[in-house]
Chains A and B, each alone.
Chain A
Amino acid sequence: MHNDEPILSGRKRVRRVAIVLSTGSYQREAPTTVLRLAEKLLERGIEVNVWAFEEAVTLTNQDQIEHNEPPSLRPVLGDSHAPVGRFIDQLLRAGLHGAKMDWVTCILCAQERGVEKHQMGGAIVGTLGDLWKFVGGADQVIAIPAYR
């Protein structure tokens, strides 16, 4: 990257962040953390590029359903809950009128899991080359390993 960015308190201003995420949801907190972080970055006008690979490619499966909870557990679980994909979709839309967020799913990982043709609108099926372009173009890179 060109080093002519404004300096803030001795540190380079961050304009673009790459996030590498490799965990799916429902048994992990990492996607929640990434989405919360992405929201705050977008609010501050920072461009966010998410590279989703391994289990993370299922986060943008368009066929996620807001299912009903088992009847006997509804008093404690509630009637239903929104799937993670809904929040990703809303963050992608939020980026339409401010700092943008790109969400790229690894084509190899998506094919392995049968979700390549089921990606939601806004998610881009990409290659490992996109990963390294995101990394190379970022002021900051945040990578969350698969075991988190």
Chain B
Amino acid sequence: MSTNAQTISPHTMPETDYLNASYGIKSWLLTTDHKRIALLYLFSVTFFFFVGGIFATMIRIHLLTPGGYLVTPETYNKLFTMHGVAMIFFFLIPSIPAVLGNFLIPIMIGAKDLAFPKLNLLSWYIYLIGGGFVLYSFSTGGLDTGWTFYTPLSSVYSNSAVTAAVIGIFINGFSSILTGLNFVVTIHTMRAPGMTWFRLPLFVWSHYATSLIFILGTPVIAITLLLVALERVFHLGFFNPALGGDPILFQHLFWFYSHPAVYIMILPAMGVISEIIPTFARRPIFGYSFIAGSSIAIAVIGFLVWAHHMFLTGESLYAAIAFSLMSYLVAIPSAVKVFNWTSTLYKGSIALDTPMLYAMGFIGLFLIGGLTGLFLACLGLDIHLHDTYFVIAHFHYIMVGGAVMGYLGGLHFWWPKISGRMYPEFLARAAAIILFIGFNLTFFPQFLLGYMGMPRRYHSYPPELQVLNVMSTAGASILALGYLLPIIYLVWSYKYGRVAGPNPWPATGLEWKTQSPPLTENFDVTPVVDWEPYDFEHRPDLALEPGVGGLLPAHGDD
């Protein structure tokens, strides 16, 4: 592979594109171009990722010694709470949909923009306002309720800046709802001629499923957190048992959104992986309709599993059994995706470029994250594992190992499209491998800590658990390096990278049929789609050599 930064590119940057179409701060802050809005989101979610990352770093340093190394218990509690709030509500949930989804969905379906471009810009401002409230909460006393805001701790007992934070998350919810609405309408109404539902890229399918959760789930968390604020400010008894409220009601409402929210984080990443694997295996994806259908199945069944977070609250025996069963059922569509991705490698023509490394890393980590979900869905085993580090390890494997690896994989895959330039391949591969190693070293020991019984959210722990905690902290320092590298070389490549050309990999999607970076209108003329998704065989425009390498198709024409 000649993917080397020094290689002279045969391509030149296009004269006009969405980046140089207009200049000045106003042209960005008032833009309705989905691609520019995507970049605005890119900066904002990256900011929150580093805010959350700094908190995470402090947590791991603190846990180097059993007694706690760095901060007081109060501060420690604020660190893990603010880490969770920043990462979940302001990084993970918007990351792939609002950055990559925003940038790509219109181009992938051959549209000029989203259905409601102004609403799209409004979503970003709402996100900023919500984020502002949360940052205000962080900087004026902090937040110490845990990201789960369990009542009556959050609504009555906590002395931290809960009200500002829940109002921030409430406001931010509207950003998710509007984004979801925009995606659904766009996908329904703005597909180019020939872009049938089953020619849609799987990335679009997964965002369609995600949007359904955005629209149906987000209002519930918004109203729930508003009730917490009302109980806190006006002493209304929704959740406080001393006023006749029920703290369990909060948990039902909270998880009714927050469990599906896990799928908001992972489904778009699965969509990214479903794009990367066929591109670098250069063959159609195995079981297209099963991967598309499993996204919808996850979104639907995902709404029926929430009380598996509550097996030990004293909920009814029969409810617990029903929710355990549903939780096992939702595992099946995820397994289907993994098997289909693996099968897509069979008889492919595989190159391990950076995005593909991330995709393989994603499968490895998602496999562990997904399978350990089976441990927690098991009623008998959850008695022991609930609220321990096993849970922490499990959801970090899904959300960091899965969602963040997917996000970074996607960012590298579409970086040539976004910026028009290539990043340094060697550094990028190194970062992917460093992240994979650092991640496992950080979080695998936490499974063992969990089985030993170490509860989550502990600022100190019994001395016999120190070795595993030190391993985890060591891993976190490697992980931190892995996250810094892409920031540095991606920024560098934006100016100095080799010019990518319209389709550097090459890949089959519509987004690769336009120039890199695209025009503000995406396409000169509305494209007409007359090819099947991920078909390399009947695409002379990709300039590939069908059958080279002795892997002739069984039937030339099917």
Query: Are chains A and B native binding partners rather than an unrelated pairing?
Result: no
